[in-house]
Amino acid sequence: MQIRLTVLCFLPHAMYLIVWTLALVFAVRIVRRGAGRSERLFLVGVCVMLGVAVVSAALAGTYTGLTICLNNAGYQPLTMAVIVSGIHLIVPVLSVLGIGFLVCSFWRKFRESDNAESAELRG
């Protein structure tokens, strides 16, 4: 029963794993062609987001199993909630970090293109 529950919880995360893996392949191809700092930041952001997808897929279905194990060990409900919340706080923190890298990458790229356009207009 526990295995079926874990597989069912994993299925929605499979799409994110596939998408971020494809984005990683795309980012590596861009960097290999000779890229600047913004493309490398894009690669780092994609790697972090792929890590988020892997961690969230690994943690899928652990709420139930971990709660049962902690309950059998004699933990109080408040203590169980703190432990489970602390473990699952990893995903949002990593998501914010990855999104920050991606936003910084695009911001730098657009800033570089604006500087190139203004240099063309000047001379």
pLDDT tens column, 42-80: 999 999 999 998 888 888 777 777 888 888 888 888 888
User: Is the predicted pLDDT of residue 99 greater than 80, yes or no?
Assistant: yes
In the prediction, which pLDDT does 35 show? 76
Residues in CB range of 28: below 8 A, 6 or more apart: 43
Q: Are 42 and 102 in contact (CB under 8 A)?
A: yes
- What are the residue ranges spanned by the domains of the chain? 2-122
pTM: 0.76
Q: Distance between CA 113 and CA 107 in Å, rounded?
A: 10
Q: Please tell me the predicted confidence (pLDDT) of residue 95.
A: 93
* CA 85 to centroid of chain Cα atoms: 18
Please report the pLDDT score of residue 118 as a whole number.
66
pLDDT band at 4 (very low <50, low <70, confident <90, very high): low
Confidence at residue 7, expressed as pLDDT on a 0 to 100 scale: 67
Q: Average pLDDT over the chain, rounded to whole? A: 84
Backbone angles phi, psi at 89, to 5 degrees: -80, -15
Which SS3 state, helix, strand or coil, does residue 60 take? coil
Percent of the chain predicted with pLDDT > 70: 85
